[in-house]
Every structure is written in C-alpha cells, then in structure tokens.
Amino acid sequence: MITVTEEKIKAFLAMVSESESIVLLTHFRPDGDALGSTYALRTFLKDACGRDSIVILSSLVPDSLGFITSAADLGSTLVWDDDSENASRAIDSADMIICLDCAHFGRCEAPGEHAIASHARKVLIDHHLNPESSQFDLVFSESECVSSASELLYYVLLATPQAAGDAARIPAAARRALMAGMTTDTNNFANSVHPTTLRMASELIAAGTDRDEILGHLYNEYRENRFRAMGFLLSERLTVTGKGIAYIIVDQETRSRFDLREGETEGIVNMPLGIGNVKISIMLTEDGDKYRVSIRSKRGWSANNMAVRYFNGGGHEQAAGGRLYIGKDIADSCELESYLAKVISES
C-alpha cells in the first residue's frame, strides 16, 4: 500500500511555501517517467501553489519525449551539458531541491553531484530499490507497490489540500505528464501494474486526460529506421544461450548504420523475453568508453541483482540498468563476449 502521510504532505508544502527558488532534478538520459514526473510537479507547483521552479537536466531530452516537455514552459529548463554555468548557479542559489525518479543524486550525474554540497532542503520522490535517504530531508519512496515515480507523485499531489483527493483539481498539463510517465514505465500496462496504477489511470481519464493522444506520441511517431534496426538486431545480433539468458549487442557501427538516436532502441530489450525459455534479456549499447546496459527479467529472476553485481548499476527486480566500462571492467570491446559468458555461467 502506498503510504503518503499527512505529516509528510504538510512538511513538503511548508518547504515549498518557504522557498524562493526551487530546483527539480531527475536522472541522466531521462526517460518518460523521469520527464513525466518532473514536468508534472513543475506544473503543479506553478499552477496550484504559485511557485516557479527550474528543471535541470544533465543531457537533452530525446525527440520522442519532446511532447512532454514542450507542453511545459521550456524557458524553465537548463541542460547542464549546454550551460553548466547557469545550471550550477541555479543549484547554488536554490533553497529547495527535489529529486525525482532516481534513488540518489549520483543518478543525476553532474547536477546531482553539485546538489549534494548545496545547503538547500532536499526532497526525494522515487520508486527504485535502495534509496539513499541520508542525502535528503524528506523522502517519498515506494519500490514495491507503485509502477513509477509518476504514480507515486500522483498520490502525493492528490493528498494535497490543493487537489483534495480530486484528480480534476490537478492541472491538466500535470495530469497529461503523469499519465505519459506511468504509461512508459509500465510499458503500456505490460508490467509493474498495481491496483493503484489502474485507479490512477481511471481517475485521470475520468478527469479528461486524453490517453489516445499520449499513446499516439509514445508509440506511433517513430522513424522508419527504428524498425529497420530492430529487424537487424533481432536477426543478426541476438544471442540466446542455453541458460535462458539472451543478449543483444548494439555496437557503434550499428548505431551509425541505422542513424540511431537517443530513445530509438527503447523497448527492444523486452522482446527476447517473449521466447519461452528466456528468463533474462540484456541489451548492451556501445557509447564511447562504455556500454550502456539494460536488463529485463521474468518473475523469479532478478535483473536488479545482475545489474548490481556485474554492470555497476541497479533499478528494479524485473527492470534494471547500468554500465560496463571499456578499459576498466573489460580491456576492450573484443572482450565483451567473454565477459558475458562469465556473467551467464555465474548466473
């Protein structure tokens, strides 16, 4: 059961009303839930609490998720990679920093590292395993019973006097962002769906949120190259091992050949789980001096354990991620297959 106590809501709103300058942070390479929860909160703070805030992202938003941020006031967003000077100044002068959809500041990369030293009051709103609570003054964290940070935030907002339990009193742009975030983290209701997830969806639709419009943006606006790359990766780059572990390697050459942009391989890692005897699916994407790693598992198998143990990462039991550093974890990219053979033999 989600526990959003009255005391925590009071403490949260007191911090908001006492703060002149509020900064919102989320994880690096933001996904739909990261952006959905962050921009929903920004809209709520502005429209329902009369408080402006600045969103600081470590890197740019993928085109496919631009519909979430473009509905918000983009003048309020700073991207660290583009303007670290103003971004760090905003963090230094903040008196409240709210971190969404990540278990600790480290997942926000540079802006998060910068925020740790800040004297601002810090709040966490998250749904990952093992939150680093000591970094925060106030923590809303549920890992077992919510689908997403967007779902947890929905119940936080609903419990405020501004919404008073009525979804229709949450600003429309915030409702849309929350629905988009929850939809992406559940893979459109395919996983991590709880009774509260369905209640949220039902209440948002009843309040007028247009789910079809959101689904159109999320799933019907890809570029053709995504599908060409998907065909190639599934036929030429998927290895299914006897131990029920499958992996796909997306090397730099494949990324260039299909002109793959950020977010365009989203969801492909789930596909091998459709094979009867596959229990864990891993996708490794070459990215400069590292491979970015995505892991998905069937119930009874832990993607999180594998991410923590072998890929410098973590996440959730059935969906986790991390990184494998070339020159540190493996000597060079030729060693990747033998590293995977070791992971598979020990799993």
| Cα–Cα distance measured from residue 294 to residue 323, given in angstroms and rounded to the nearest whole number | 9
Binding residue (CB under 6 A) for ligand 5GP from 43, 147, 294, 297: 294
Within 80-119, the residues that bind ligand 5GP by CB under 6 A are 103, 107
Site string for ligand 5GP, 24-63 (x = CB under 6 A): ---x------------------------------------
Helix H or strand E segment including 121: strand 121-126
Q: Binding of ligand 5GP at residue 314 (CB under 6 A)?
A: yes
- Residue closest to Mn ion (Cβ): 33
Helix H or strand E segment including 239: strand 238-240
In Å, how far are 31, 240, 283, 308 from 340, measured between CA atoms? 26, 12, 11, 15
Nearer to ligand 5GP by C-beta: 96 or 149? 149
User: In sequence order, what DSSP letters do the residues of 264-319 get, joined into one string?
Assistant: TTTTGGGGGGGSTT--EEEEEEEETTEEEEEEEE-TTS-HHHHHHHHSS-EE-SSE
List of residues 6+ apart from 180 with CB closer than 8 A: 32, 35, 36, 67, 68, 150, 214, 217, 218
Minimum distance between the CB of residue 137 and ligand 5GP, rounded to whole angstroms? 21
| Widest Cα–Cα separation across the chain | 59
| Partner in contact with 313, chosen from ligand 5GP, Mn ion, none, beta carbon below 5 to 8 Å by kind | ligand 5GP
Residue 313 near residue 305, CB atoms below 8 Å: no
Nearer to ligand 5GP by C-beta: 19 or 265? 265
| Partner in contact with 263, chosen from ligand 5GP, Mn ion, none, beta carbon below 5 to 8 Å by kind | none
Question: Using CB under 5 A, which of the segments 32-40, 111-119, 208-216, 235-243 binds Mn ion?
Answer: 32-40
Minimum distance between the CB of residue 85 and ligand 5GP, rounded to whole angstroms? 27
Binding residue (CB under 6 A) for ligand 5GP from 30, 32, 36, 321: 321
| Cα–Cα distance measured from residue 271 to residue 159, given in angstroms and rounded to the nearest whole number | 37
Binding residue (CB under 5 A) for Mn ion from 56, 69, 98, 101: 101
Binding residue (CB under 6 A) for ligand 5GP from 209, 322, 324, 330: 322
Binding residue (CB under 5 A) for Mn ion from 132, 142, 185, 286: 185
Question: Using CB under 5 A, which of the segments 182-190, 249-257, 300-308, 324-332 binds Mn ion?
Answer: 182-190
Residue 100 near residue 138, CB atoms below 8 Å: no
Nearer to ligand 5GP by C-beta: 160 or 184? 184
Minimum distance between the CB of residue 17 and ligand 5GP, rounded to whole angstroms? 31
Q: Binding of ligand 5GP at residue 316 (CB under 6 A)?
A: yes
Residue 76 near residue 54, CB atoms below 8 Å: yes
Binding residue (CB under 5 A) for Mn ion from 26, 27, 33, 115: 33
List of residues 6+ apart from 181 with CB closer than 8 A: 32, 33, 34, 35, 36, 37, 40, 68, 148, 149, 150
User: Is 198 in a helix, a strand, or coil?
Assistant: helix
In Å, how far are 3, 5, 153, 297 from 9, measured between CA atoms? 11, 6, 11, 35
Judging by DSSP bridges, how do beta strands 280-287 and 290-297 pair with one another?
Answer: antiparallel
Spacing of C-alpha 264 from chain mean position = 15
Minimum distance between the CB of residue 1 and Mn ion, rounded to whole angstroms? 19
| Cα–Cα distance measured from residue 208 to residue 324, given in angstroms and rounded to the nearest whole number | 44
| Partner in contact with 141, chosen from Mn ion, ligand 5GP, none, beta carbon below 5 to 8 Å by kind | none
Q: Binding of ligand 5GP at residue 313 (CB under 6 A)?
A: yes
Binding site for ligand 5GP (CB under 6 A): 27, 103, 107, 128, 294, 313-316, 319-322
Binding site for Mn ion (CB under 5 A): 33, 101, 148-149, 185
